[in-house]
């Protein structure tokens, strides 16, 4: 599957990440932190822009200093924010306190009254989908109303404009009223999409049985999806297409933290598709980017540039056997 270009509209969230500093410090022992852009959709946008693509974000942020921090960071990375709306009242931007550690890693997420859930159908209706080559969304947008209905409306409008729909399952239980609601909504969203990316637990969750995740990924492709990427951590990934399926390994690095891999994978993977890479090579490019990010501090700041990614792929041993 080849995308017609590398202009992406992303529906999702932008937030703030706090990292205890220096790296390796546990949060409860920290006396200083550094802040950077957070939120899975924003991070995917950073990955795309650093690899030479273009990305615009559709979301809501809080009408306060934290919301302005997020929009300033979007601008710094070159992500379009013309469809980012500030909301007042008690709505607050999401905040993540994330340790740069592997052992006993703690990521503490604050999502109460999340501003991005205030996105409405009017927000997605204001987008000129004809300007883009694909729509990307992450699963968190479906966790609450009015964001859920807005995201499905965005799907319909993008589909009408001929855009492929790309879905990062990104299941975060704390955002949902119940697991049953999440499974139903995710299955509905997945059935509408051309490309679905998730890990084994997320596909298993969609299937209603953690042992049947791979069957769910295969079912989505059998019912019309063009690509499903079933990620298995250190065991690599199984990619399913209408032409068949294949397995790929991972690129081993000295990880500093477990976070950021999924966002970097998605950004580099879709950038590969936009550049015309075969699906297997696009998956491996995503895997390489994921390996680079977990070995660096931060998430958005850790996303590789095109030259860095090219150098890594040229010099790094791997990938491992599938």
pTM score above 0.95: yes
State the chain's maximal CA–CA distance in angstroms: 54
| pLDDT at 318 (0 to 100) | 79
Tell me the two tokens of residue 287. 């895997």
Tell me the two tokens of residue 247. 């397995």
Q: What whole-number distance in Å separates Cα of residue 275 and Cα of residue 278?
A: 9
Contact by Cβ (8 Å): 48, 55:
yes
| CA count, 13 A, side-chain hemisphere, 286 | 32
Q: What whole-number distance in Å separates Cα of residue 270 and Cα of residue 225?
A: 15
Residue length of the chain: 322
Q: What whole-number distance in Å separates Cα of residue 264 and Cα of residue 241?
A: 22
What percent of the chain is modeled with pLDDT above 90?
Answer: 92
The β-bridge relationship of strands 237-241 and 244-248 is antiparallel
Task: Dihedral sign for Cα 222, 223, 225, 229, please.
Answer: negative
126-146 residue pLDDT tens: 999 999 999 999 999 999 999
Query: 242 pairs with which residues across the strands?
Result: none
Query: 15 pairs with which residues across the strands?
Result: 38
Residue 35 DSSP symbol: E
Tell me the two tokens of residue 39. 């939120």
Task: State how far the alpha carbon of 242 is from the alpha carbons of 69, 230, 277, in Å.
Answer: 43, 15, 17
Q: What whole-number distance in Å separates Cα of residue 234 and Cα of residue 258?
A: 12
Contact by Cβ (8 Å): 251, 244:
no
Residue 204, exposed/middle/buried by CB under 10 A (0-12, 13-18, 19+)? buried
| pLDDT at 174 (0 to 100) | 85
Strand order through the sheet with 195-199: 80-87, 54-62, 7-11, 134-138, 165-168, 195-199, 227-231, 237-241, 244-248
| pLDDT at 81 (0 to 100) | 98
Q: Which domains does the chain have, with CATH numbers?
A: 7-315 (3.40.1190.20)
Alpha helices in the chain (DSSP H): 40-50, 65-77, 121-125, 147-160, 179-192, 200-207, 213-222, 261-274, 279-294, 306-315
| pLDDT at 39 (0 to 100) | 96
3-state secondary structure of 254: coil
| pLDDT at 179 (0 to 100) | 86
In this prediction, the residues of the chain whose per-residue pLDDT falls under 70 are: 322
Burial annotation 94-111 (CB, 10 A radius, 16+ → b, else e): bbbbbbbbeeeeeeeebb
Q: Which helix (H) or strand (E) holds 127?
A: none
Q: Which helix (H) or strand (E) holds 296?
A: none
């Amino acid at each position: 599957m080849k995308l017609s270009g590398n202009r992406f509209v992303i529906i999702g969230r932008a937030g703030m990440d706090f990292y205890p500093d220096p790296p390796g410090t546990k949060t409860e022992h920290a006396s200083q932190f550094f802040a950077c852009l957070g939120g899975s959709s924003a991070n995917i946008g950073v990955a795309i822009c650093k690899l030479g693509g273009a990305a615009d974000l559709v979301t809501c942020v809080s009408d306060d200093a934290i919301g302005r921090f997020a929009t300033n960071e979007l601008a710094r990375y070159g992500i379009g924010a013309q469809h980012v709306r500030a909301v007042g009242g008690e709505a607050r931007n999401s905040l993540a306190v994330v340790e740069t550690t592997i052992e006993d890693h703690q990521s503490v997420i604050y999502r109460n009254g999340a501003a991005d859930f205030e996105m409405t159908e009017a927000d997605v209706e204001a987008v000129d989908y004809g300007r883009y080559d694909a729509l990307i969304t992450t699963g968190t947008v479906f966790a609450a109303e009015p964001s859920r209905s807005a995201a499905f409306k965005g799907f319909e409008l993008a589909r009408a404009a001929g855009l492929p729909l790309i879905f990062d399952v990104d299941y975060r239980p704390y955002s949902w009223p119940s697991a049953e609601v999440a499974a139903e909504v995710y299955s509905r969203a997945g059935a509408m999409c051309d490309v679905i990316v998730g890990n084994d637990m997320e596909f298993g969750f969609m299937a209603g049985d953690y042992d049947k995740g791979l069957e769910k990924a295969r079912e989505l492709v059998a019912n019309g999806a063009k690509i499903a990427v079933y990620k298995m951590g250190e065991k690599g990934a199984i990619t399913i297409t209408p032409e068949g399926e294949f397995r790929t390994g991972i690129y081993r690095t000295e990880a500093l933290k477990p976070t950021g891999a999924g966002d970097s994978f998605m950004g580099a993977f879709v950038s590969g598709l936009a550049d015309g890479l075969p699906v297997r090579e696009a998956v491996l490019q995503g895997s390489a980017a994921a390996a680079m990010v977990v070995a660096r501090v931060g998430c958005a700041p850790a996303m590789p540039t095109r030259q860095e990614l090219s150098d890594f792929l040229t010099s790094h041993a791997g990938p491992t056997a599938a």
